[in-house]
Structures are given as structure tokens and as C-alpha cells.
Amino acid sequence: MSAHEIPVPIKQQYFTPGVKVVFAVFLAGAVGVAYRFLYGLGAVTNLDNGYGWGIWIAIDVSCGVALAAGGFTTAAIAEIFHKEKYHVITRPALLTAMLGYTFVGFGVMIDIGRWYNIWHPMLPDMWQGNSALFEVGICVMTYVTVLYFEFFPIVIERFKSRVNLPAIIAVLNKPIDGILHIADKVLRKIGWVFIIAGVVLSFAHQSSLGTLMVLVPTKMHPLWYTHLSPLLFLISAIAVGFPMVVFESILASRSFKLKPEVPILASLARYTPFLLGLYLALKIGDLTIREVWPYVFEFSTESWLFMAELVLGVIVPMIILSIRKYRRTVGGLFTGATLVIGGVVLNRIDVFLVAYKPLYQTKAYFPSIWEILVTAGCISALILLYRAFVMIFPVISQPEDEVAGRMDDTSVKANFSKAR
């Protein structure tokens, strides 16, 4: 990295052909959501009294939480362990986490039957400390709030001294600006509270997500039923944090035609093989202690999926990312990161859907077209919002000289002059 990099809003056209496709998927998903709220879960999902949970829990919620782990892992390395050079990637990771968790909350809303009661776990007289789901719920709610606080300084940075409301409400410019200045000062002082809280809360709910299915000993496939599950969920979430940052960063630079930050990303990806190795060791130990190796080699659907999780999702990326030659190329980094992410997604689907065997259902659950559309729609909405946010707020870092160069002509300058 030669030039110093600073985060700036990206000035490009919002709609490209690719974005239009994403938008179309989003619209289809929105129809599905409307359909669900008007006609109920029975009309849109393939759930029944045997399969209480489907892909909205397995993917939207549980994968959503795992893949938003980039937020707390980068915050930890850059802010808590003071590896300053990673500051350039904390903001995109924070944005993904913030949007990701917002959609996790939204996904829960869609899935639960009495969505208007979603706030009930916050009422002390309904606290249910025995329930792992309560633990997940309360931590996720708190963490979303923490993420908003963590992101707020970026909003302040964008608007401080530039508040420019139109026409009549322009009189509010000064007071709002004043508030932003005070908020800025306060948040600078107490920001660390939120950063550490974010990490602790993440540890708590990432692991508790793994506890959920431990309550179902008699209906789970032995390959995935283990009391180690919370630890495995936690370690895999930590392990997928950096690959997720790598994945997004490469995609974003591709989409905005920026130079990918290969050295920083490669440096971040160095940690991944160690975390994957730890995960693999725990998995192997667990299989051995529980004496369930025979299930791995019974060549059933379950055993193939299990092997795919471990070989493609853990061992292969562990090898790719530990070889420096591959790690320092965009292709190697991207492949490695994608495999890790795929492995974690597959693992969550396996734990919540594949391993779960109801007693009386003769047909295995498969999501309905609406369930799939809603899930795809949520992911699309997340992508669209991410794109909008990085265009409005200073999230993605670019070399300082380039930014300065552009200030002469583009709207960046206009913005500045308006502010003065």
C-alpha cells in the first residue's frame, strides 16, 4: 500500500445492469413478504407441525448472523488489538454487520407468527433464562443497537458541518449540526464501550445459536448432535469473519472498478488457516469422542453433506490460504474466502434442516418457491442497501491522491462548497 487511504463516499451510477437484476429479485421477495403477512405462514411456506423451522431460520437468521461476523472480528483486530492497518476494512465490515443484523431482525419478524410480539423478550417478566433462543434474541437485539451506535460516527462524519436541509426546514441546519458535533465528541470518548460490547455480545449469541439444536437430542442426526455445538458455532463464526470481509471487499472493488486491497486482505487471510485448523481439530476430536465416524462413511446424503462441509469448506480453503503464493492473488483469496463461507452456510443448513428429523413426516422439508424468493429478496435488499450506503457515506477507502484529484470536478467538491 503506497498512498495513504481515506474513506470517501463512492460517486458512481447506482443502477447498472447487474443492480437491476438484483432489484428485480428484491421486488419478487417483497411480493412474497406481503403475501406472507396477508395470508400467513401456511400459505407461503412448506412448514408443518413436524418441521417447525425452515430456511428463514436456517439461512436468513442463522447464516445471516454467522456471515455478519466480519463486523466484530475486524473491530476486535483493528480497535482492540490495535492493528491499525486494518482500519481501512473496519468500515465496510461494520456496514455489512449493521445491515446483516438488521435483516436478521427482519427475517425473524417474517418467520414468527406473532411478529407484533417480537419485543416480548425484552420484558423482564417474560425473561426465560433457560431458553437458548431467549439468549440469542436478547443479544441480537442489543447487538443491533450497538452496531447502530458504532456506525453513527460515520453518519456524523458525513454530515458534520454540512447539514443542508432544503427550504423551510433549513432553519434546523444549525441546531442539528450542533447536536452532531456534541454526539461526535461523546461517541469519540465512549466508542470503546460499544466496540468491546459488540465483541462480547457476538461471542454470546454466536455460541447460543449453536446451543439451539442441542435441545433436540432425539430428533438430530448423530453427525451434528453434539454438546460442543455452541463452541463449534462460535469458532466457525470467528473463522468466517475475515473471509467474509475478503469476499465483500473483492466483490465491491470489482463492482466499483476499484483496485482490490490485496496486501491488506492477504494479511487478514493469514489468520484464517489457524482458525479453520482449530475448528477442524475440534470437529475431529468431537467425532472421535462420540464415536460417530461410521456415520461419516456411510455414504448417505447426510454423510456426503458432512464431508463437503469439512473438505470443501474447511480443509481446501485452509490449504489455499496457507500458501502465500495463492493468498496474495485476487483469485486465490477469493476462492479461499468463498469456500469458507460456503462451508459455514452449508453447516448451518445441515444443523437446522438436514440433521433435524421429525418423527412422523414421510417427506423431507423442502422450501417453497415463496420461501426461496423471500430469502433471495432479503439478500438482494441487503446488497442494494450496501450499495446505497457506500455511495452516501464514507465507508470504502480510496487512495488520498485520487480522492483529492476528483475533488476538482465532481460532486464531492459541490458538497464541500455547499457546506461552506
Task: Tell whether residue 384 is a contact of other proteins (CB under 8 A).
Answer: no
Among 34, 200, 364, 414, binds other proteins (CB under 8 A): 200
Residue 74 contacts other proteins per CB under 8 A: no
- List the interface residues with other proteins, window 178-197 (CB under 8 A): 192, 195-197
14, 115, 274, 297: which one contacts other proteins (CB under 8 A)? 115
What is the footprint of other proteins within residues 244-273 (CB under 8 A)? 263, 266-267, 270
Shortest Å, Cβ 276 to other proteins: 19
Which of 72-80, 93-101, 291-299, 301-309 is the region at the interface with other proteins (rule: CB under 8 A)?
A: 72-80
Per residue in 158-183, is it b (16+ CB within 10 Å) or e — as a string? bbeeebeeeeeeeeeeeeebeebeee
Q: Is 73 exposed, middle or buried (0-12, 13-18, 19+ CB in 10 A)?
A: buried
Whether 410 and 12 have beta carbons less than 8 Å apart is answered as: no
Tell me whether residue 117 is exposed, middle or buried, using C-beta atoms within 10 angstroms of its C-beta: 0 to 12, 13 to 18, 19 or more. exposed
Under the binding rule (CB under 8 A), the answer on residue 297 touching other proteins is no
Nearer to other proteins, 228 or 251 (CB): 228
Task: For residue 243, give the nearest of 355, 106, 341 by alpha carbon.
Answer: 341
40 backbone φψ class: left, alpha, beta (φ>0; ψ -120 to 50): left
Of 43 and 179, nearer to other proteins (C-beta) is 43
- DSSP for residue 394: S
Euclidean distance between the first and the last CA atom of the chain, given in angstroms as a whole number: 33
Q: What three-state secondary structure class fits 368?
A: coil
What are the C-alpha distances in Å from 195 to residues 23, 192, 199, 207, 231?
33, 5, 7, 19, 22
Residue 13 interacts with other proteins (CB under 8 A): yes or no: no
Candidate segments 89-97, 106-114, 180-188, 411-419, binder of other proteins by CB under 8 A: 106-114
Contacting other proteins within 319-358 (CB under 8 A): 328, 356, 358
Considering the complex, state which of residue 122 and residue 179 has its C-beta at the smaller distance from other proteins: 122
Of 132 and 245, nearer to other proteins (C-beta) is 132
Q: Are 396 and 390 in contact (CB under 8 A)?
A: yes
Q: Is 2 one of the binding residues for other proteins (CB under 8 A)? A: no
Interacting residue with other proteins among 121, 153, 273, 336 (CB under 8 A): 121
Rule CB under 8 A: which of 78-97 touch other proteins? 79-85
Q: Nine-digit cell at 281?
A: 481439530
Q: Which of 17, 20, 113, 363 binds other proteins (CB under 8 A)?
A: 113
Residue nearer to other proteins on the CB measure, 9 or 358 = 358
d(CA 359, CA 219): 7
In the numeric block, the cell 425473524 is attached to: 108
Nearer to other proteins, 19 or 197 (CB): 197
Give the residue, chosen from 17, 20, 124, 130, that forms a contact with other proteins under the rule CB under 8 A: 130
Q: Which helix (H) or strand (E) covers residue 399, if one does?
A: strand 397-399
The DSSP letter of residue 350 is: I
Number of residues that bind other proteins (CB under 8 A): 75
Name the percent of the chain in helix, strand, coil, to the closest 5. 75, 0, 20
Residue 416 CB, shortest distance to other proteins, in Å, is 32
How far apart CA 391 and CA 396 sit, in angstroms, is 9
Residue nearer to other proteins on the CB measure, 205 or 387: 205
> Does the protein bind other proteins through residue 240 (CB under 8 A)?
no
Among 211, 272, 375, 380, the residue binding other proteins under the rule CB under 8 A is: 211
Question: What character string, x for contact with other proteins (CB under 8 A) and - otherwise, covers 32-61?
Answer: -----xxxxxxx-x-xxxx-xx--------
